[in-house]
Amino acid sequence: QVQLVESGGGLVQAGGSLRLSCVASGRTFMTYAMGWFRQAPGKEREFVAAISWSGTTIEYADSVKGRFTISRDNSKNTVYLQMDSLKLEDTAVYYCNAEKSIIPIVTKEWTSLQNWGQGTQVTVSS
């Protein structure tokens, strides 16, 4: 198991930027692929972005391609989500996820995934 703690959320105007961070506990961080999901009020949790343990494989949801960038620093046990050109529809609670492979992060329903942080609220205003 791995414990995850997200931070960096907040209130931002449309068109602005935020950077989310997720710090993982333990010495096995670099064996995990990492993902970001989000859940807007009244909606299902949805995939946003994922990165393999080495950082060589990265996937994005179509809705954020070209605007969001996922990255990781294995020396700091941290994964980041840089969010630029934010839109009103990006408003959600953002969750960090860790799995042993990037494949389930990208392909499976979120209910099938195991390791989650507590979430951080991102609110985009007009």
Supply the pLDDT for residue 1: 80
Write down the residue that tokens 């070209």 correspond to. 66
Q: Do residues 46 and 38 touch, judged by C-beta distance below 8 A?
A: yes
Per cent of the chain over pLDDT 90 is: 95
Residue of 2, 54, 90 whose CA lies nearest to 81: 90
Per cent of the chain over pLDDT 70 is: 100
Mean pLDDT throughout 86-105? 97
Residues 1-40: pLDDT tens digits?
899 999 999 999 999 999 999 999 977 888 999 999 999 9
